Structure 1
Amino acid sequence: MSISHKPNLRPSAQSLGHEAVQLLHSLAQFGSVPEGGITRLVYTPAWREAQAWLEREMTSRGLLTFWDDVGNLYGRSEPASPGGRRILTGSHVDTVRQGGCFDGAAGIVASLIAVSWLRATYGPPNLPLDVVSFAEEEGVRFPVAFWGSSNALAAAEGREPTPLPRVLDEDGIDIERAIRDANLPPASRRSRQPVGAYVELHVEQGSKLEEAGVDIGVVTAIVGQRRYWVEVVGRAGHAGTMSMQARVDAMACACSLLNELLERAAAIPDLTLTAGQWHVEPNAVNVIPGRVTFSLDVRHSSERQLDLFACEIERVCSNITAERRASVRLTSWMNQAPVPMNPSIIALISSAGNDAGWSSMPVLSGAGHDAQTFAGSVPSGMIFVPSRGGVSHAPDEFTSSDALGRGIEVLIRVLYALAYETYLP
Structure 2
Amino acid sequence: MDESKRNVMKNKVINLIDELSEYGKTENDGVTRTLFSDIWMETQSFLESDLTKKGFTTMFDEVGNLYGTVRGTQDTDETIMIGSHIDTVVNGGKLDGQLGIVAGIVAIEELIEEFGLPKKNLEVVSMAEEEGSRFPFTFWGSKNIVGRVAEEEVKGLVDQDGVSFIEAMTDKGFGFRNNNSLARSDIKAYIELHIEQGGVLEKEEKSIGLVNGIVGQKRFLIEIDGEANHAGTTPMGYRKDSLHGASKMIDSIIELGKEFGDPLVVTIGRLDVTPNTSNVVPGKVIFSVDTRHTNNEIVNEFISKFSELIESISRDMDLNTKVNQYMDGYPVPMDEQLITHMEKICISKGMDYKIMHSGAGHDAQIFAPKVPTALIFVPSRKGISHSYLEFTNPDDYMSGVELLKELLYEIAY
Q: Structure 1, unaligned stretches of length 5 or more?
A: 1-7, 421-425
Q: Does 1:29 find its partner at 2:19?
A: no
**Alignment match, 2:393:** 400
Once the two structures are superposed, the pairs formed by residues 62-77 of structure 1 within 5 Å of their partners are: 62-77=55-70
The structure whose Rg is larger is: 2
8 A contact 2:225–2:320 mirrored in 1: yes
* Paired letter, 2:18: H
From 186, 196, 216, the equivalent of 1:194 is 186
> Aligned in 2, Cα 1:234/1:80: closer, same or farther, shift over 3 Å?
farther
**What's the CA shift for 1:393?**
2.1
For residue 340 of structure 1, report the CA deviation from its aligned partner. Answer: 1.9
Q: Counterparts in 2 of 1:56-135, with a 5 A limit?
A: 56-80=49-73, 83-135=76-128
- Which residue of 211, 219, 224 corresponds with 2:216? 224
Paired residue for 1:266?
A: 258
Match of 1:177 in 2: 167
Q: Using the alignment, how far apart are the partners of 2:89 and 2:112 within structure 1?
A: 33
Q: Distance in 2 between matches of 1:63 and 1:177?
A: 31
Shift of the 274–290 alpha-carbon distance from structure 1 to 2, 3 Å rule, reads same
Aligned length: 408
Larger mean Cα displacement after TM superposition, 374-383 or 143-152: 143-152
User: In the alignment, what sits opposite 1:164?
Assistant: 153
Give the residue type in structure 2 aligned to 1:195.
I
> Equivalents in 2 of 1:307, 1:251: separation in Å?
26
2:352 aligned to which of 336, 354, 359: 359
Q: What is the DSSP-based 3-state SS (H/G/I as helix, E as strand, rest coil) of the residue aligned with 1:12? A: helix
Identify the residue that residue 204 of structure 2 maps to in structure 1.
212
Pick from 330, 336, 351 the counterpart of residue 337 of structure 1: 330
| SS in structure 2 at match of 1:306 | helix
The TM-score with structure 2 as length reference comes to 0.82
Which of 39, 56, 74 matches 2:32?
Answer: 39
What residue in structure 2 maps to residue 374 of structure 1? 367
Q: 8 Å contact 2:67–2:124 — kept in the other structure?
A: yes
| CA drift at 1:261 | 2.6
Residues 339 and 160 of structure 1: CA distance in aligned 2, closer, same or farther (over 3 Å):
closer
Question: Percent of counterpart pairs with the same letter?
Answer: 36
Unaligned stretches of 5+ residues in structure 2: none
**1:236 shift after superposition:** 8.7
- Rounded Cα–Cα distance in structure 1 between residues aligned with 2:24 and 2:278: 32
- 8 Å contact from structure 2 (residues 256, 306) kept in 1: no
Return closer, same or farther for 1:276/1:101 CA change in 2, 3 Å cut-off. farther
Q: Which structure has more RCO (C-alpha within 8 Å, separation ≥ 6)? A: 1
What is the RMSD computed on CA atoms of the aligned residues? 3.7
Taking structure 1 as the reference length, the TM-score comes to 0.80
Query: Is the 2:63–2:175 contact (alpha carbons within 8 Å) kept by the matching residues of 1?
Result: no
Q: CA deviation at 1:307?
A: 0.7
Structure 1 residues 302, 210: CA separation in 2 closer, same or farther (over 3 Å shift)? same
